[in-house]
Amino acid sequence: MTQMELARQGKVTDAIRAVAEAEGIPAEAVRRDVADGRIAIPLNKNRRATRIMGVGRGLRVKVNANLGTSPDYADVAAELEKLAAAVEAGADAIMDLSTGGDIPAIRRRLMDACAVTVGTVPIYEAAANAARQHGDIAQMTAEDILGAVRRHAEDGVDFVTVHGGVTRRITESDAVRRRVCGMVSRGGTFLAHWMRRHQQENPLLERFDEVLDIAREFDVTLSLGDGLRPGAIADAMDGPQIEELMVLADLARRAVAAGVQVMIEGPGHVPLDQVEAQVKLQKELTGGLPFYVLGPIVTDIAPGYDHITSAIGGAVAAMAGADFLCYVTPTEHLGLPRPEDVREGVIAARIAAHAGDVARGRAEARAWDRRLSEARSRRDWPRQLAEAIDPERARALRHERRPGHEDVCSMCGDYCVFKVRNGGGKKEP
């Protein structure tokens, strides 16, 4: 049985208890929300994760880091290094999006080394296999796509992205052709290419009941991918995006009815003034199911700084009710990230998630800010640095820009307001 089915029977499972303890809320409240789908606990029956996370109502906003090889860089050692960087920086989950090298072997190596929740996009493997064997991703069959979902589930993947909302009707519409950047989701684009070639509907939609059977067998959480997410500010909140969201809401209802845990994925590139509306719309259409957003990136003009553009959008999305933020690294749109980019991306997304938690009035988030402020006010430097979200960076900067006196920083020196206020504003001999 799935966590959701057990919760519906009134059982407080070990996973539910672990989430409740980590969040500091009653296990019964978590059980209730798992039962109705408003909290997902992505945890495959075949997985032995040591850090379980819950995503959804009343819980801390979580952060995911995307990893994975590309056809140009398929080095498993580099991916393991990035995994270590992501987990050390505080990611709650990672997704292996590998498309290069021995994809199953890379996935298994990452999962063996990974203590946190793991997600994947199985269609990447099906498409990469077809491209290698036949020179064209459209040569994959519907069986290949469903077979990839099953293999990932058997391997113990905790959540899988399935782009069931990418319909033939939407992908062939003039509205998509009019977009500045068209479709930018890889999975969505693979499916659109496949549908055009075969003149058939999306197998992940048509055979969604089979997807549900696999998910139920292994208690894999379905992350309903937004293959039509906007990839440009000019394309945000258009017809294809909203139509897809309505299809995803319908699929999500079917998943919940089948006892399968589910999240909905969201955009993408979204102007700041639309972020709140996008979150509210998703919550309204799905009855409050967990919302997993990529960024959102709030302006297109900052390649090299998209960890910042996405953190701005992520903070507003989290404040409005988004539950799970997918990080964006400084190399987004530019190249495959290195470990230092992964680290920076995770920290940026964690700041956004925490800012959302603070705005939502979460007691432990507010308490963390207070502890740091009190240490700052006392000029208790060791405590202030220890409380920083990235103590390593805070220590390095303080050390590098050393003040003349250890009780202040080099910004104001002896004119430090905290020192002056306490009558200590004169230089000591």
Residue nearer to ligand SF4 on the CB measure, 136 or 406: 406
Distance CA 245, CA 149 (A): 22
Q: State in angstroms the smallest separation of the CB of 389 from ligand SF4.
A: 18
Residue nearer to ligand SF4 on the CB measure, 143 or 415: 415
Residue nearer to ligand SF4 on the CB measure, 104 or 425: 425
Residue nearer to ligand SF4 on the CB measure, 27 or 412: 412
Nearest alpha carbon to residue 263 among 162, 117, 362, 147:
162
Q: State in angstroms the smallest separation of the CB of 29 from ligand SF4.
A: 40
Nearest alpha carbon to residue 49 among 20, 10, 18, 21:
18
Residue nearer to ligand SF4 on the CB measure, 138 or 412: 412
Q: State in angstroms the smallest separation of the CB of 33 from ligand SF4.
A: 42
Please check whether residue 307 is in contact with residue 328, taking contact to mean a CB–CB distance below 8 angstroms: yes
Q: State in angstroms the smallest separation of the CB of 220 from ligand SF4.
A: 49
Q: State in angstroms the smallest separation of the CB of 421 from ligand SF4.
A: 9
Q: State in angstroms the smallest separation of the CB of 382 from ligand SF4.
A: 14
What is the contact surface with ligand SF4 in residues (CB under 6 A)?
408-409, 411-412, 416-418
Distance CA 24, CA 363 (A): 10
Q: State in angstroms the smallest separation of the CB of 373 from ligand SF4.
A: 12
Residue nearer to ligand SF4 on the CB measure, 170 or 409: 409
Distance CA 372, CA 376 (A): 6
Residue nearer to ligand SF4 on the CB measure, 133 or 373: 373
Q: State in angstroms the smallest separation of the CB of 381 from ligand SF4.
A: 9
Residue nearer to ligand SF4 on the CB measure, 133 or 410: 410
Q: State in angstroms the smallest separation of the CB of 371 from ligand SF4.
A: 16
Residue nearer to ligand SF4 on the CB measure, 305 or 418: 418
Residue nearer to ligand SF4 on the CB measure, 77 or 411: 411
Residues 6+ apart with CB under 8 A from 250: none
Phi/psi of residue 225, each to 5°? -75, 145
Q: State in angstroms the smallest separation of the CB of 413 from ligand SF4.
A: 6
